[in-house]
Amino acid sequence: MKSGDCTRFQFCPKCGGRLTVKKLDHLPRQVCQECGFIFYQNSKPTASAIITNSQGQLLLVKRNMNPRKGYWDLPGGFLEEGEDPIKGLKREMKEELNVNVKVGSLVGIYIDDYSCSYQSKTLNIAYVAKPLKGKMTPMDDVSEIKWFSKTKIPWKQLAFPWMHAVLRDWLGR
């Protein structure tokens, strides 16, 4: 990658030739000078859950890793290649909270910027979900879980900008 540019590579993953930026489809794209391979950058999909308890409080998890370690997040994570979003959300809930969930309605889909990484843009899919039997336990990606009333959401300590939009949409339902 070029210094200071977190989304550009220097060499083609197909043949090893040098990549240059060309305008294609009205957008700057990295194209191999040797084989013509086009290095498309696509948003990385995630699935997250809005979980509430019987008092209507929202569950947030404190991130135990960067980016934004120590900030509050919705439980969820990146989908695997070809993974159905609902199956991915169920997998993530087991990995992060050691709980099975019933996935309900779609709240919305939101674009955001994860961090300086090769695919930094994210496509965040948020669902309402209900935990099934079992006690939620913070696993390796999570340092703490906490319930927040709708009037006490820690807006300034939310990990990512897209969370403001999804929570406003959810609160407006």
Low-confidence winner among 103-107, 113-117, 121-125, 129-133 (lowest mean pLDDT): 113-117
Contacts of 101 (CB under 8 A, 6+ apart): 49, 51, 89, 90, 93, 129, 130, 131, 132
Residue 113 is predicted with a pLDDT of 87
| 120 pLDDT higher than 90 | no
Report pLDDT digits (tens) over 60-102. Answer: 999 999 999 999 999 999 999 999 999 999 999 999 999 999 9
Q: In order of start, what are the domains of the chain with their CATH numbers?
A: 7-41 (2.20.70), 44-171 (3.90.79.10)
The helix (H) or strand (E) run that includes residue 14 is: none
Residue 7 is predicted with a pLDDT of 56
Residue 156 is predicted with a pLDDT of 98
Report pLDDT digits (tens) over 102-111. Answer: 999 999 999 9
Residue 119 is predicted with a pLDDT of 60
Q: Return left, alpha or beta for 108; rule: phi > 0 is left, psi -120 to 50 is alpha, else beta.
A: left
- By CB atoms closer than 10 A (0-12, 13-18, 19+), residue 133 is exposed
Report pLDDT digits (tens) over 3-51. Answer: 344 457 899 999 999 999 999 999 999 999 999 999 988 899 999 999 9
Residue 8 is predicted with a pLDDT of 73
Q: How many other C-beta atoms are found inside a 10 Å radius of the C-beta of residue 28?
A: 12
Edge to edge, what strands does the sheet with 38-39 contain?
Answer: 19-24, 27-32, 38-39
* DSSP letter assigned to residue 18: B
**Lookup result for tokens 């990295």:** 30
- Can you give the pTM of this predicted structure? 0.88
Residue 42 is predicted with a pLDDT of 87
The answer to whether 110 touches 104, Cβ cutoff 8 Å, is no
| 145 pLDDT higher than 80 | yes
